[in-house]
């Protein structure tokens, strides 16, 4: 095994975003080799941080088993973005492997035009019940897999939108306080069909880091965070915006890069497209 591999695995676990930036500067086959051997939960975090076009190239170089895992376990926003970029036969075959609810969510998000809010909203973001106390919400968030770093929707017992809960306010409030007393109600929700550029211009993103998204029937369907707004706007301008040069890596990142380049492909095996989804179609 490559002498740098243990360090590489530790680096990915502790510095996922930095690792993703380094990997983006490598050939897709090198990143695919790493994704084959690291724990899939860590790999999903990497996939979700990579630019969609590059992540798609990596997915196509993975084994059948790993590509299915990453597409299935990535959040709906990431998964739908990758599936849109994959060959049609690969996309159809991959969707067949999904549980019904996941497949339905992915198809729903893929149905939106790329310049619409719905294409960039989070469908998987948890909502806070209005009847909860601050303490109950904190327990709920601790039990959720993954890090929550943005405001969350507050809903009534029927799932109807009540308002927005900012994490800073949640952190300052006492555990016994009722959510209904500290929820922000003067929020202007977005429409899932609204253009992303309009969402950027017509909302106060300096005040809120996320906005609820409603359907044409005024049903809560998702949440658009400022991070995903920025991702979407960058994607819409990719055709005319030069890609940013990869920043020179720091010393730990250089060691990480050597680990990926220096033997992971040998360790993981030779990956081919033979027998992958859609190959025979």
Question: For residue range 161-178, what is the model confidence (pLDDT) as tens digits?
Answer: 999 999 999 999 999 999
Distance CA 79, CA 119 (A): 11
Q: Classify domain 128-236 at the CATH superfamily level.
A: CBS-domain (3.10.580.10)
Give the Cα-Cα-Cα angle 33, 38, 44 (nearest 5 degrees): 95
Q: 28 or 5: whose pLDDT is higher? A: 28
Phi then psi for 70, rounded to 5 degrees?
-65, -40
Q: 243 or 13: whose pLDDT is higher? A: 13
pTM, 2 dp: 0.76
Q: 212-223, pLDDT tens digit by residue?
A: 999 999 999 999
Distance CA 112, CA 120 (A): 9
Beta bridge mates, 190 = 213
pLDDT at 245: 34
pLDDT at 260: 52
Tokens of 117: 């809010």
Q: 273 or 37: whose pLDDT is higher? A: 37
Question: Residue 252's pLDDT band (boundaries 50, 70, 90)?
Answer: low
Beta bridge mates, 113 = none
pLDDT over 90 percentage in the chain: 63
Nearest-CA neighbor of 34 among 275, 266, 207, 244?
266
The residue-averaged pLDDT of 65-82 equals 92
Tokens of 21: 């930036």
Domain parsing of the chain, residue ranges: 5-116+246-268, 128-236
pLDDT at 11: 78
Distance CA 95, CA 83 (A): 9
Q: 111-169, pLDDT tens digit by residue?
A: 999 999 999 999 989 999 999 999 999 999 988 866 788 999 999 999 999 999 999 99
């Amino acid at each position: 095994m490559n002498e740098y591999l243990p360090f590489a695995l530790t680096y990915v676990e502790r510095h996922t975003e930095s690792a993703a930036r380094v990997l983006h500067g490598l050939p897709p086959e090198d990143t695919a080799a790493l994704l084959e051997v690291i724990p899939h939960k860590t790999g999903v975090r990497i996939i979700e941080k990579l630019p969609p076009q590059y992540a798609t190239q990596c997915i196509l170089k993975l084994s059948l088993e790993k590509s299915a895992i990453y597409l299935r376990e990535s959040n709906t926003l990431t998964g739908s973005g990758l599936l849109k970029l994959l060959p049609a036969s690969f996309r159809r075959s991959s969707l067949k492997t999904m549980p019904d609810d996941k497949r339905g969510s992915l198809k729903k998000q893929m149905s939106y035009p790329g310049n619409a809010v719905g294409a960039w909203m989070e469908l998987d973001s948890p909502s806070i019940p209005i009847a909860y106390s601050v303490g109950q919400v904190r327990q709920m968030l601790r039990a959720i897999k993954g890090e929550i770093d943005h405001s969350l929707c507050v809903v009534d017992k029927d799932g109807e939108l009540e308002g927005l809960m900012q994490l800073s306010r949640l952190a300052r409030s006492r555990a016994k306080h009722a959510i209904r007393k500290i929820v922000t109600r003067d929020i202007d929700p977005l429409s899932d069909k609204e253009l992303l550029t309009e969402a950027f211009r017509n909302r106060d993103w300096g005040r809120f880091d996320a906005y609820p998204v409603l359907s044409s029937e005024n049903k809560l369907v998702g949440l658009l965070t400022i991070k995903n707004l920025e991702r979407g706007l960058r994607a819409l301008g990719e055709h005319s915006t030069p890609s940013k040069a990869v920043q020179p890596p720091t010393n730990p990142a250089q060691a990480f890069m050597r680990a990926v380049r220096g033997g992971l492909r040998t360790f993981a095996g030779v990956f081919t497209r033979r027998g992958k989804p859609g190959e025979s179609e």
